[in-house]
Chains A and B, each alone.
Chain A
Amino acid sequence: QSALTQPPSASGSPGQSVTISCTRTSSDVGGSFFVSWYQHHPGKAPKVMIYEVNKRPSGVPDRFSGSKSGNMASLTVSGLQAEDEADYYCSSSAGNNNWVFGGGTKLTVL
């Protein structure tokens, strides 16, 4: 099965860009790697920001973008704003109808 590794923290100043990585480690390197990204403000429900690597749901600002290269996916937040400060999690299928989340990255807007 797959595991997803994220950096525990990331930061940037307002207006800057920040990229958060999500690396898949798996004994099975075959199969798809459809990654989704979730924003979680403490005390609120998580919200999907990116799905299927780079698709953005309606209502999510185009400052949020996703990409993938091999076994690493990335979430980029451009033009950082104060309200972007939150925890961000990547998620993917782990195979065998199981799903896994990364450990989360705390994004701080300086």
Chain B
Amino acid sequence: QVQLVESGGGVVQPGRSLGLSCAASGFTFGTYGIHWVRQTPDKGLEWVAGVSYDGNNKYYGDSMKGRFAISRDNSRNTVHLQMNSLRVEDTAVYYCVRGPLSNVWYSHFDPWGQGTLVTVSS
């Protein structure tokens, strides 16, 4: 079945870096855009970043620009989110999700991984 599995979450101090990975299976990975969406108790769901099916186009939420970098390896069916200069407000559960930026019409986010918790704290 279609599956996305995140890894790499943990506790990190403010200003430090952390990398998240997403392993995909059960579908033609190189056809679909992949996104990261985070969830906090205060703000609910927030779109973080997205990468196109071929890796050539990358987009970020306003508060992530210049700090986060998304990439993908279609030979390994994986997506990586490098998070630098982390802030306390980046504390969230980060979900990897299939979505737009595909080379087929695909307007929504489905499926979602189980999420990985990132805690930014001193």
Interface residues of A (CB under 8 A from B): 34, 36, 38, 40, 44-48, 51-52, 57, 87, 89, 91, 93, 96-104
Q: List 5 A-B contacts (CB under 8 A).
A: A89-B44, A98-B47, A99-B35, A99-B100, A104-B44
- Closest 9 A-B residue pairs measured CB to CB? A51-B108, A104-B44, A36-B108, A45-B112, A101-B45, A99-B47, A48-B110, A97-B59, A34-B107
Cβ A97 vs Cβ B101 within 8 A = yes
Most chain A C-beta atoms within 10 Å of own C-beta, residue among B39, B100, B108, B112: B108
Supposing A34-B107, A40-B39, A99-B35 touch, asked if A46 and B47 sit within 8 A by C-beta, the answer is: no
Cβ B108 vs Cβ A91 within 8 A = yes
Q: How far is the CA of A84 from the CA of B59 in the complex (A)?
A: 33
Contact size range, B = 20 to 34
A-B pairs with CB below 8 Å: how many? 68
Which residues of chain A are near B113, meaning CB under 8 Å?
A: 45
* A contact patch SS: strand
Which residues of chain A are near B110, meaning CB under 8 Å?
A: 47-48, 51, 57
User: Is B13 part of the contact surface with A, judged by Cβ < 8 Å?
Assistant: no
